[in-house]
């Protein structure tokens, strides 16, 4: 066979093949079009009411399927997408709201109540987990009810260091520009709201409620996130009202009322290896009421790797019968379950300012700066700190170890130099 002949045959074959391929593509395109119109699932600027998808508002019928269907439609549509949860009680198991979504934004209008199933076998990790979604909003006067009361006894974290954790109620993972506004988050099985690897989260006019003795029911926890704003929010829970974990930066908290609870805490830090620093935290115009701690920074003495906690600014905070109103604790070790000491890595705490912190404490230790001898706290400034112990059997005091403090307008009883 001549070379030329072969070349022509190959050329011809290629033509046939590519024509067939093009036709196949056309058909596939048509199929896709059909799928879209027949499914009637997603549209531009869609609104999906879960009751129109068949969800029953009796608080007993499992509505997981209907809610996830609403999510799939909203997340798959273009423009502004809305999911409506109208008045009524809707029971669901775990809800997996994973993006990225196609449109500009997804808003969940929560007017009714979502109730979390108490069948723990249904959960892999969390109840409502929203992942990789940009411009998400959850707004309304409704409630996310974790129904934790029935399962809190199954929490073993007070006894074991590596306990199995119960489902968190609302989790935002890798979500940029999120808004949670107006809603109530009630009786979570574990944390109420957990923010992880997000940038730009606003929590506004939210109520977070669980009994003071419910285990590990932190109000709002954040980690590896930046530009988090929490404002005009009321939190009463069984653990930290707000906990600011490793890797948090540019956090603004204002107009928050905390209590019962363990206070507004940075940390704990140093429990895990390779934790990132915590910097630029502002807590302003807040009230702590009957909480076990007020403004707290806590870190393990036996940190797994070095971490820096710096640039904290606390201002205009009212303490009302708070256990330890101002406390930096570099020897944090809950339930004495820390691993043994030794010459491990350290957590640095520096540049912390307390301005206009006033009110009462329920223990004599209005101020506790328990810094480590190997890493004393640096750059602690106190201006206008006046906290008084309300009990009669002792006097107000500041307990300080290894802390260098610059003070102005501080009550003698609150001063480390006293």
Give 173 or 275: the residue with its C-beta nearer to ligand NAG.
173
Report the nearest approach of ligand NAG to the CB of residue 286 (Å).
8
Cα gap 261→210, rounded to integer Å: 9
Single out the catalytic residue among 192, 221, 262, 313.
262
Residue 64 carries which DSSP code?
A: H
Closer Cβ to ligand NAG, 344 or 415, answer by number: 415
Shortest reach from residue 20's CB to ligand NAG, in Å: 33
* Beta strand spans in 174-263 (E): 176-181, 184-186, 193-196, 199-204, 207-209, 220-223, 226-236, 242-244, 249-258
Using the minimum distance from each CB to ligand NAG, give the nearer residue, 390 or 394: 394
Q: Could you tell me the smallest distance in angstroms from the CB atom of residue 248 to ligand NAG? A: 12
Q: Residue 392 and residue 276: Cα distance in Å, rounded?
A: 43
CA-based end-to-end distance of the chain: 106
Secondary structure (3-state) at 69: helix
Identify the sign of the CA torsion 107, 147, 175, 184. Answer: positive
Indicate if 262 belongs to the active site.
Answer: yes
Burial tier of 99 (Cβ tally within 10 Å: 0-12, 13-18, 19+): middle
Q: What are the φ/ψ torsions at residue 14 (nearest 5 degrees)?
A: -60, -40
Q: Measured from the CB atom, is 98 or 353 closer to ligand NAG?
A: 98
Q: How far apart are CA 400 and CA 378, in angstroms?
A: 13
**Shortest distance (Å) from residue 8 CB to ligand NAG:** 49
We find the least distance from the C-beta atom of residue 359 to ligand NAG, in angstroms, to be 8
Site of interaction with ligand NAG (CB under 6 A): 96, 98, 124, 227, 229, 250, 252, 282, 316-318, 356, 358, 364-365, 393-394
Nearer to ligand NAG, 111 or 232 (CB): 232
Residue 270 or 294: the one with the smaller Cβ distance to ligand NAG is 294
Cα–Cα nearest to 265, from 254, 281, 250, 276: 281
Which residues are within 8 A (CB) of 66 and not within 5 positions of it... i.e. 6 or more apart? 50, 53, 54, 55
Residue 318 beta carbon to ligand NAG: minimum distance, rounded to whole angstroms: 4
Catalytic positions: 262
């Amino acid at each position: 066979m001549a070379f030329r002949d072969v070349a022509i045959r190959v050329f011809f074959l290629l033509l046939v093949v590519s024509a067939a391929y093009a036709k196949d593509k056309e058909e596939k395109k048509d199929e896709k079009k059909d799928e879209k119109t027949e499914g009637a699932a997603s549209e531009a600027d869609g609104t999906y009411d879960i009751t129109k998808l068949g969800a029953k508002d009796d608080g007993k019928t499992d509505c997981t399927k209907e809610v996830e269907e609403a999510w799939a439609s909203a997340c798959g549509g273009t423009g502004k997408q809305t999911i409506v949860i109208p008045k009524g009680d809707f029971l669901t198991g775990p809800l997996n709201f994973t993006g990225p979504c196609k449109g500009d934004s997804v808003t969940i209008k929560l007017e009714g109540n979502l109730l979390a199933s108490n069948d723990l076998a249904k959960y892999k990790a969390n109840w409502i987990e929203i992942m990789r979604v940009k411009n998400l909003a959850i707004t309304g006067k409704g409630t996310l009810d974790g129904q934790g009361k029935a399962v809190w006894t199954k929490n073993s974290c007070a006894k074991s260091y590596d306990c199995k954790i119960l489902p968190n109620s609302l989790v935002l993972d890798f979500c940029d520009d999120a808004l949670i506004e107006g809603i109530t988050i009630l009786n979570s099985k574990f944390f109420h709201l957990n923010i992880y690897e997000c940038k730009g989260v606003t929590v506004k006019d939210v109520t977070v409620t669980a009994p003071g003795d419910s285990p590990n029911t932190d109000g709002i926890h954040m980690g590896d996130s930046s530009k988090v704003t929490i404002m005009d929010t009321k939190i009463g829970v069984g653990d930290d009202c707000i906990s600011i974990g490793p890797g948090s930066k540019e956090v603004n908290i204002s107009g928050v009322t905390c209590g019962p609870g363990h206070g507004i805490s940075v940390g704990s830090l140093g429990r895990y290896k390779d934790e990132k620093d915590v910097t630029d935290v502002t807590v302003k115009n807040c009230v702590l009421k009957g909480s076990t701690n007020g403004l707290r920074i806590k870190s393990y003495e036996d940190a797994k790797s070095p971490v820096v906690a710096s640039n904290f600014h606390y201002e205009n905070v009212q303490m009302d019968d708070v256990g330890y109103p101002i406390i930096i604790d570099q020897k944090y070790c809950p339930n004495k379950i820390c691993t043994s000491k030794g010459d491990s890595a350290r957590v640095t705490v520096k540049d912390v300012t307390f301005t206009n912190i006033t009110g009462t404490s329920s223990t004599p230790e209005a101020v506790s700066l328990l810094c480590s001898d190997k890493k004393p706290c640096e750059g602690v400034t106190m201006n206008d700190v006046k906290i008084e112990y309300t009990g009669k059997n002792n006097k107000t005091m500041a307990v300080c170890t290894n802390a260098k403090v610059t003070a102005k307008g501080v009550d003698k009883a609150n001063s480390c130099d006293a």
